[in-house]
């Protein structure tokens, strides 16, 4: 059982929904990013998604793109990101961390070396948005051999013919993208999301977590109410990009987490 599996089992036993928060590693700089990362569990975050900066983030909107550019400009690398996680693990051995990004930096490092290093650092799951199920032998299956969950995205355009393929080797949870388009581009609506989550849950026992388009505590509550939890990324990253202090960012995150946990 991975940390992700254990976390969702514990939440289910408590009758609680999950709150997942995304930040970009190294944004706006390594020290500030590490401080925010360390504070997320105390702010109510159940699962952390840690973005891996990349030069061509095709699925991300301007907010996440700019965060990645700030991180890269500050010298953030894959190794520094893994080192951040290893430092986090010295004081927190239970909060799951999912590394989210693109395949190029992983491929460049070498899959086997990357998986060994990720496991040692304390990474629990991967979301690699540019590797479709047809490429599962590339990274998905090897990752699971290392005990690292491979989390797949489903979208409003994932129809009933495509869904079984998407779910086939997915583990940890299913990330349902609530809107079509890039991150931060529209608001998620529970009335639209609910039936889609039900459709996915009829095909899998995995938790279904909804992301994209969630910016307020009320929205977090509404979306978590029709799923197993919700993800907030762009809204948090926007606070970081505005130059807010780690304490101010974590206060904002705490409000979102409280909203999700009210669901």
Q: Which residues are catalytic?
A: 49, 60
In angstroms, rounded to a whole number, what is the distance separating the alpha carbons of residues 151 and 49? 11
In angstroms, rounded to a whole number, what is the distance separating the alpha carbons of residues 140 and 136? 5
Q: What is the sign of the dihedral through the CA atoms of 67, 212, 61 and 215?
A: negative
How far is C-alpha 58 from the geometric centre of its chain's CA atoms?
16
Q: Which residues pair with 21 in a beta bridge?
A: 48, 232
Q: What is the largest CA-CA distance in the chain?
A: 46
The two three-digit tokens of residue 116, written as one number: 């060994």
Cβ(166)–Cβ(191) under 8 Å?
Answer: no
In angstroms, rounded to a whole number, what is the distance separating the alpha carbons of residues 89 and 86? 5
3 C-beta neighbours (distance < 10 Å), count: 21
Q: Is 68 exposed, middle or buried (0-12, 13-18, 19+ CB in 10 A)?
A: buried
In angstroms, rounded to a whole number, what is the distance separating the alpha carbons of residues 120 and 116? 6
């Amino acid at each position: 059982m991975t940390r992700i599996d254990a976390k969702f089992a514990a939440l289910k036993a408590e009758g609680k929904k999950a709150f997942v928060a995304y930040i970009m590693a190294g944004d706006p700089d390594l020290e500030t990013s590490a401080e925010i990362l360390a504070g997320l569990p105390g702010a109510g975050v159940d699962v952390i998604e840690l973005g891996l900066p990349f030069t061509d983030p095709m699925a991300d909107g301007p907010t996440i793109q700019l965060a990645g550019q700030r991180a890269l400009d500050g010298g953030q690398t894959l190794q520094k990101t893994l080192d951040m996680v290893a430092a986090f693990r010295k004081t927190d051995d239970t909060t799951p961390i999912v590394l989210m990004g693109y395949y190029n930096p992983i491929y460049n490092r070498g899959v086997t070396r990357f998986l060994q290093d990720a496991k040692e650092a304390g990474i629990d799951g991967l979301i690699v948005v540019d590797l479709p199920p047809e490429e599962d032998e590339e990274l998905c299956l090897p990752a699971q051999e290392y005990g690292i969950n491979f989390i797949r995205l489903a979208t409003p355009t994932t129809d009933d013919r495509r869904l079984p393929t998407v779910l086939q080797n997915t583990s940890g949870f299913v990330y349902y993208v609530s809107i079509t388009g890039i991150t931060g581009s529209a608001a998620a609506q529970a009335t639209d999301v609910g039936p889609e989550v039900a459709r996915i849950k009829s095909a899998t026992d995995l938790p279904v977590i909804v992301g994209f388009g969630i910016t307020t505590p009320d929205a977090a509550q509404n979306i978590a109410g029709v799923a197993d939890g919700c993800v907030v990324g762009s809204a948090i990253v926007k606070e970081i990009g505005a130059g807010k202090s780690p304490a101010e960012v974590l206060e904002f995150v705490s409000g979102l987490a409280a909203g999700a946990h009210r669901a």
